[in-house]
Amino acid sequence: MKLLLVEDDQALATALGQALRDAEWVVEHAASGQGADFLLNTESYDAVILDLGLPDGDGTRWLSEWREAAIDLPVLILTARERWADKAAGFSAGADDYVTKPFETAEVLFRLRALVRRSHGHAHPVLRVGELAYDTHTHHVTLAGRPIALTAQECRLLGYLMHAAPRVVSRSELAEHVYDRDHEPDSNVIDVQVSRLRRKLGVTRIATLRGQGYRLVEGEAP
């Protein structure tokens, strides 16, 4: 899952970015509304963490602009203001959730996961495709109740496919959401990783649709 962190305080951006990366997020950072605006219009993200006190205007103003431009991804507002009048202004601008500083990293992560899950239309924190289950909080993967050990990268890949299921996910979409902008691999690398996943989960669980991409399949095909 790829996230845009919009925060002008360099120390906070670094520390929070690290905490998010540790939790398997792909994080990109913008220090201003202008920078965020550019990234949102060129890249695709799964969520945005938006600080309200930006050097080039209030965060709610930028958010309103993005919403008007039909940029519809979940936005979590991060701010020092904790009065409900301020929160309501954030929601009016189109925020999806709200965390006040100083925050618990766990809370930010929890809310982010819930936002991303909901934006993909999943209500429950454990995503299921057939016998395959993916816990969005712990990143544990089980197949018919049996735990499956995955590397961090495999986990991110499967996580994205699980969120998107039963939609078909193209290679480029997968690359964009699972890798850092600066480390986007060529499609071969993705193919290799998908085939590793297939070995651990069973070959037929990830179907390749020629020219379109990958899709998780319910149940073992005969």
Partner 1 sequence: MSRLSRASIATRLLLASLLLILLALPLSGVALAYHFRLSVTEAFDERLDALLKVVLASVAYDPLEQVLQFDSTLGDPRFEQVFSGWYWQVSDGDSQVVTSRSLWDQRLPVTDQRQISVRDERGPRDSRLRVIERDIRLAGIDAPLHVSVALERDELDAEIRRFEQLLAAALLGLGVLLLLALAAQIRWGLAPLRRMRGNLQRVEAGDIERLDTALPAELAQLAGAMNAVLDRDRRLIERSRHTAGNLAHALKTPLSVLRLKVASLPKETREPLLIELARIDAAVRHHLARASAAGDSGWLGSVKVAETLAPLLDGLTRLAQRRGLVLESDIPASLALSMEAQDLQELVGNLLDNALRWAERRVTLRIACDADQHRLQVSDDGPGMSTEQRSEALMRGSRLDERRSGSGLGLSIVADLVALYGGQLALKQASPHGLRVEVTLPATPHAIRDPR
Name the site residues for partner 1 (rule: CB under 8 A): 9, 11-12, 15-16, 18-19, 80-81, 83-85, 87-92, 94-96, 99-107, 110-111, 118, 123, 137
For 187, the enclosing helix (H) or strand (E) is: helix 187-201
Please give the distance of CA 13 from its chain centroid, rounded to a whole number: 17
Smallest separation, CB 155 to partner 1 (Å): 19
Task: Kindly tell me which of 100 and 153 has the beta carbon lying closer to partner 1.
Answer: 100
Q: Given the DSSP bridges, would you call strands 126-129 and 132-135 parallel, antiparallel or unpaired?
A: antiparallel
Token digits for 139? 């990143």
Task: Kindly tell me which of 72 and 220 has the beta carbon lying closer to partner 1.
Answer: 72
Order of strands across the sheet with 97-100?
A: 26-30, 2-6, 47-51, 75-79, 97-100
Smallest separation, CB 195 to partner 1 (Å): 35
Task: Kindly tell me which of 90 and 213 has the beta carbon lying closer to partner 1.
Answer: 90
Task: Kindly tell me which of 92 and 212 has the beta carbon lying closer to partner 1.
Answer: 92
Task: Kindly tell me which of 60 and 193 has the beta carbon lying closer to partner 1.
Answer: 60
Among residues 13, 58, 9, 3, which one has the least CA distance to residue 33? 58
d(CA 87, CA 78): 10
d(CA 159, CA 17): 20
Token digits for 44? 């695709």
Smallest separation, CB 147 to partner 1 (Å): 20
DSSP state of 73: S
Smallest separation, CB 76 to partner 1 (Å): 11
DSSP state of 29: E
Task: Kindly tell me which of 54 and 157 has the beta carbon lying closer to partner 1.
Answer: 54
Smallest separation, CB 8 to partner 1 (Å): 9
Task: Kindly tell me which of 19 and 217 has the beta carbon lying closer to partner 1.
Answer: 19
Q: Is 126 helix (H, G, I), strand (E, B) or coil?
A: strand
DSSP state of 210: T
Smallest separation, CB 82 to partner 1 (Å): 8
Smallest separation, CB 9 to partner 1 (Å): 5
